[in-house]
Structure 1
């Protein structure tokens, strides 16, 4: 045995006996040199928000016994910071984060889990010279073509050994490139093998109504969204979809929308609007439950034509987010495959280790809503985004029951006076997009 091999063995043995003591020392002594670096995730801002409010993810019981379910979703921003599409990528990340939160609720309501687990341990130990088996041939002949118990045992052993062989060895066998002696050495060299294989499939489907985003955060690592659902928000969503606004009116007065929405005409206000995406539900000063939706889009240039095009895109995003509040069908599918194989060899303390993990997740969502009375509260544009240095435009939309009733009244009046004249007093949208936002988190709003 070489000095290097002896040194490796001594080092491994030392590590084996010392590691439990080292672990205990790390647990018990703060002055240890072992430093753990915490990785920053996009969800941190949302986790801190919930913690500061005294809430947790999952089901919460608020004052008065009201039950509210909170979920956190997060997503990375796919476009690089120097990309013209960076702002659009942030908008898409909010959409993904809000959808991830809905996935949590769908799985909380009910999830089907299928788990297939296989473990095996094969060990081969032998010592001395194997004698010739004189009975084997005779026993095999007596079965008239059928496999004897001994032959079946041999077949099983060969199958196990085949699993143990390396891909290179098996390929040589298939191509008749392996000598008999080399094959014997390859088989005899393997003494044991321990394998683990697990396949997990999950699925969840739900029709989610009224899951609103109460907080959204933008950080260096990505975007996160806190979404909330309660029986009351579900009823509010039904009212939005059906046009029966009774439960959305005559409530406790809240803040005017002008105090909830940053000033789109000032530099400080636009700075805040740069991190506002998605739609949220809140009460206004008239005691009405309404919707505020923010949309942004990048522009190719800063001239009026390019900015107008960007504003149209931003408006479509904001409109789609309102549709998402009403009703959304969420379908979640995921699959996990986990494999580990440990192989031991004769005359060696070292073991080969192989592992493989494959994960796949698919989330599909669709929503549809017809709503009247959506108002463009304001729009803004800047020639250079602080990060991308590219032009960007934004749109703010609001909706209240009063605006909806007024739009319907105007449409009815216009239809009566001129049946051939199309009405432009309302917006009607059918879409499959979703989004996230912030605010509207008073306990009276749930």
Structure 2
């Protein structure tokens, strides 16, 4: 098929490259001049394992190209950002701009496929918007939610647990199937439903996962005060076949480009419909309170006062395997420590350049040892694998006060204490 992908962020760029890998002819449209220049020059503008190599492969074969203007194609895939507005509602301006741009094509696509996460009813509204601008359009619109995890996005696209096609017409379902036909997916991994059902499904899935994480973080807080071990607790919980082991690890808070904005958007749409969204609202409040508690935990571990103390932070991305800072707990925890008077210095193997503007006043080190030197406390905020292999005795010896706050439960407590650290983690003795 001839595809045009609008937007080259995480979702759009992975979608474009993966579709080219499947054998489709793909043109990706990017309106940001700096990002477009990188892509046309063969440079991947984001960190995603395997993506750089796949871009080079598909561009070299001619299956993938990049440009700034809309192109004619059988299927237009909209994968632009839908960030949260101040009231939590999804900002659809980029989506509308992309649709309005393609409306100027002489030959319109047979279908538009929405990959951006959008409120229920948006796909149908976009089809109506395009028909209002181009009454001659006889095509259809469908919603194809993405279930890609940053750090494993290519695998999640090319070896999906499920593919969902939200289509209100048979023609849309057929075009959606055609995109994924090269995968030869079994029928039990391909779901066809209405666009409204698929739109709500995406929000529901992210909200359920966020709820699990928020609940685990609350239970970890209780474990800390009762002497229980959160790892043992969740290991047993995860053995229940009704629950399973995924998303049961305590951490510093729910972050990333999806969960925080999507649960807010779902709560906003629910309120607009007159529906009580008490559980969703509670998850949002729980996560905000938890991140505040994480900053307080660091302060408490420093004898209740970080005024003038050097706090070294390892990792600022919202999780390992990505350079993404969007809604990272670091954006809450580090400023809270600064507000308490701490001198914060950080190291992240992927995100230091982007973080400088997002975290003003934070000092930046070129490695864990440089960050720890002379520090009064060391905080693990992102679970980068390299941090689990650090020479703890060396780090403890470099510090003014060898305190370690492990907000990812990345290290073995006995090992950290044997290395000389005054060690604390989440919900573990």
Compute the TM-score of the two structures, normalised by the length of structure 1: 0.20
Higher normalized strand content (fraction of residues): 1
Structure with the higher helix share, 1 or 2: 2
